[in-house]
Structure 1
């Protein structure tokens, strides 16, 4: 006779021992090594490259503060990353709460940094004080060198732990920080950096910070591959570069550039229409690429649709009985870059894919509506070209909708 399995899920029949002894407290950077995905998104290629971005973003923040003009990123044999800048250098003095040198604190303690509202940085992409310490925790080893204009300091860490105290290795009149590290193969699926992925990210940073000079070198092969990135035109040059890469024709000669400031918060938008049928909208907050958009994108889209509909109504291009153009219509063939720099940027999660500040929506919405309206009034030929493109998209969308209905019937 067959027996019935009364425990198909395989649940232990003896009472599991779940008491206070089962509750674990992970000390220091142990939590990062245990759950790296929470801090860098994944342990695949995306997370691996995110380590580089975290260190570079610290140098970019120095540039934003006006203290850094040169950033160098080297890919060395053995998949070692070295990032150098000529900023002020991470402070080396004793941090009062811990009694440790500030540079040691930055690399070994989570939520330690100079971006929590002190006078060090008004605007920064590093908001949570975890970037440098997370990179250290997930590296087989990491070495930091700091020059403060008098001395050169050096410290080495292995898997997040310091090997020896911070030490002076010489005298120098230079200032800056150099960080070298090797991602831990025990953590990552594969430690292999893609040059083009890093180049794309660093080029974005050069566009977003007009005037900053960034050098990327790949020294892993027999010959060094080197790229110098420097764009005085800022995000206007970014739009031109995208159109050149895509091989599309612009519908109007100049890139439309709009900018506004509200206290210490700034917003800038560059946009240009082309003869393609796709939209490309890239948004950034404090130089971080917000891949999932957020408040600044919402503000841009709403204002753009409103400006174009209002202009079309005012000049009778849209008649009284015509429907308003939709967002997808007015963004067909559009390339736009939105960049906001906020004193208190609020992102969703450590990977910062989406911006949450409602103030950013208002800032961008007001900027685009007011200044694009003025631009259209001063450049009616460009305005009509854009509206004709939008009307064509609207007619095509309506025709497609009718064709679907006929096919269904």
Structure 2
């Protein structure tokens, strides 16, 4: 007997096949894990890492100037006047602080040592990752009256022999062999400190068309100057690239703002103001358990008390556009996180309470305000500062520290409630205007939804292309309405009597529809049953499918509880998976679960007869055994061959009435795996399906086959 290829490959997979990537080698092997991508976005992320380290010095009150320079040779330099990277020897490694920072992953001064109360650099990989993906990196440190220097080629320390024309990544390089050296290359005045880093991105790592974006650098520098009042950021472009502001010579932009996030909010706001810029500020503490390095070099779980500062500037304008920016320790979090969740939670709570209190004056009615109503026309800058925040990944786009949500929520609720209920004349006027605007937004949204639903239902019903066999419902409420796709006219007749016509629609299909996994788009559209389903759902198909246009909140596949019914259900699911996948992804496609048996007991003395529905042979036998054990007389169980064998009351009670029925939601937890399974079971390639059937034959339960 010969082993299958899969068996052979498994037996040959041993420890010698494992690779252990040491140090910066891991970064060069999988750069996307650390910088997101190797295109322009990844290139810019490297610059942010170095700039953020320089800004951290300003946050720690150690310097107020950062200079970023783009050179014509493709390199970029970042200089600050902070404390300077430590130059003494780190005892555990025997290396200078500079070499540790640039060659060791997860090494730095921001792991709770007290040097930085709040910082953007968190993981100790920023500088070392930039070094790993650079063809060359030079660092100079001013500290203790001296200037120290060190150079690296693709993460390896050594010395470049640069020509008189200047430094470059192609200069002859001599790596250190016996031991590395932090060179002293000059002197500075006593008290002068700072760090200068210049690097050349490695063309072996980054795509050829990846370039530094001057406009994005300008935007980042401007935003950072708002977030750190008093910090001066200078961005200088010496590349002379055509189509850029520096095409005719070096250009320089200087940013310094003393007004902080209030000034930032005013800068972002696109419309005339309804309210002044309101500041919501506060601070709270929380505890978390973190691993801390003890004196013996062991990581010990320790309860640490953290402080979280919240500072939010927001205002409402007359427009409808929403602009919200969020930051953690000056790091932009474009995808939000727990601080945004807490902010939005408090907004909803405060405004709903205020509108409920003033419902009569504002003529709110019974409608509920939602988040979009409140945030229409709002411009906000949300900042939190805390030590060692937890981010989702090195790109730091989502804050994950769970305690921050409740802290932000409580502070926003307290401060915003005080502003909205203030007795000061100016604030009282602004509060009234704001609440009236929110109520107007709510009413406009509800009116637009009603109009949209009415027009959608009307146009769909008046369309000659809609199948006449559709038995529609009366409700215009898209969220409540349900479409039952039923198997055959007999099931349709029973379903018509069993349904609630207020919100339940019925569409019958004839037997087994086309297998769309093997058919072309043209063949699918020519098929009457497939076309009818797509037309009735009303949201299009394929790439043009618009979930918002779907006419029903639920699509329920109601087929017989037998093998043919399962096949029809699979064909229908294939249609939805292939051409209306957003419905499945949104969890709006369901399979009805009709019973297989109806068991009725005879009345016995005072005990009335009982009716029990079962959904499998095993369950039926268990129920029968329980009744026999109790001494009850059981009539011959009724076996349903199809939905048409039920009367209307039975179908309603077991399968259609939301109060009693069971539905199975169809989900796409693993789209790739689902794609593979649908292709295997329903695709045009027969051989893999035949192998699957042959291999799985021994697992077949013959009792489940209807003969």
Query: TM-score, normalized by length of structure 1?
Result: 0.93
Verify: 1:257 aligned to 2:279, yes or no: yes
Q: What residue in structure 2 maps to residue 169 of structure 1?
A: 185
Deviation string, structure 1 residues 363-399 (Cα, Å, up to 9, x no partner) = 2111111111111223111112211221121112111
Q: What residue in structure 1 maps to residue 52 of structure 2?
A: 57
Q: CA deviation at 1:257?
A: 1.2
Verify: 1:232 aligned to 2:255, yes or no: no
**In structure 2, what is the Cα distance between the partners aligned to 1:405 and 1:324?**
19
**In structure 2, what is the Cα distance between the partners aligned to 1:304 and 1:149?**
51
Q: CA deviation at 1:321?
A: 4.2
SS of the residue corresponding to residue 396 of structure 2 reads: coil
Q: What residue in structure 2 maps to residue 101 of structure 1?
A: 96
Q: CA deviation at 1:345?
A: 0.6
Distance 1:293 1:205, change over 3 A: same
Q: What residue in structure 2 maps to residue 266 of structure 1?
A: 309
Gaps of 5+ in 2: 160-180, 241-247, 286-306, 458-707
Q: CA deviation at 1:319?
A: 5.3
SS of the residue corresponding to residue 186 of structure 1 reads: coil
**In structure 2, what is the Cα distance between the partners aligned to 1:319 and 1:343?**
46
**In structure 2, what is the Cα distance between the partners aligned to 1:25 and 1:201?**
37
**In structure 2, what is the Cα distance between the partners aligned to 1:375 and 1:26?**
56
SS of the residue corresponding to residue 421 of structure 2 reads: helix
Aligned pair partner of 1:185 in 203, 212, 217: 203
Answer yes or no: is the 8 Å Cα contact 1:183–1:191 preserved in 2: no
Aligned pair partner of 2:150 in 151, 155, 163: 155
Answer yes or no: is the 8 Å Cα contact 1:77–1:220 preserved in 2: yes
Gaps of 5+ in 1: 1-9
Answer yes or no: is the 8 Å Cα contact 2:362–2:436 preserved in 1: no
Answer yes or no: is the 8 Å Cα contact 1:79–1:191 preserved in 2: no
Deviation string, structure 1 residues 47-99 (Cα, Å, up to 9, x no partner) = 11000000011111111111121111111112211100000000000001100
**In structure 2, what is the Cα distance between the partners aligned to 1:149 and 1:335?**
46
**In structure 1, what is the Cα distance between the partners aligned to 2:331 and 2:211?**
23
Q: How many residues align?
A: 396
Deviation string, structure 1 residues 136-178 (Cα, Å, up to 9, x no partner) = 0001100000001411000000111111421011111220001
Q: What residue in structure 2 maps to residue 331 of structure 1?
A: 375
Verify: 1:404 aligned to 2:430, yes or no: no
**In structure 2, what is the Cα distance between the partners aligned to 1:158 and 1:105?**
15
Q: What residue in structure 2 maps to residue 3 of structure 1?
A: none
SS of the residue corresponding to residue 258 of structure 1 reads: strand
**In structure 2, what is the Cα distance between the partners aligned to 1:31 and 1:345?**
24
Q: CA deviation at 1:292?
A: 1.1
Answer yes or no: is the 8 Å Cα contact 1:185–1:191 preserved in 2: no
Aligned pair partner of 2:410 in 366, 376, 387: 366
Query: TM-score, normalized by length of structure 2?
Result: 0.54
Aligned pair partner of 1:380 in 414, 419, 428: 428
**In structure 1, what is the Cα distance between the partners aligned to 2:184 and 2:122?**
29
Aligned pair partner of 2:68 in 73, 81, 95: 73
**In structure 2, what is the Cα distance between the partners aligned to 1:365 and 1:314?**
20
Answer yes or no: is the 8 Å Cα contact 1:273–1:335 preserved in 2: yes
Answer yes or no: is the 8 Å Cα contact 2:362–2:439 preserved in 1: no
More RCO (CA 8 Å, sep 6+): 1
**In structure 2, what is the Cα distance between the partners aligned to 1:235 and 1:339?**
9
**In structure 1, what is the Cα distance between the partners aligned to 2:340 and 2:218?**
25
Distance 1:87 1:15, change over 3 A: closer
Q: What residue in structure 1 maps to residue 387 of structure 2?
A: 343
Q: What residue in structure 2 maps to residue 198 of structure 1?
A: 217
Relative to structure 2, which stretch is displaced further, 273-282 or 285-294? 273-282
Q: How does 1:25-36 map to 2 (within 5 A)?
A: 25-36=20-31
What is the RMSD of the two structures over their aligned residues, measured on CA atoms?
A: 1.7
Distance 1:274 1:11, change over 3 A: farther
Aligned pair partner of 1:141 in 128, 136, 143: 136
SS of the residue corresponding to residue 99 of structure 2 reads: helix
Larger radius of gyration: 2
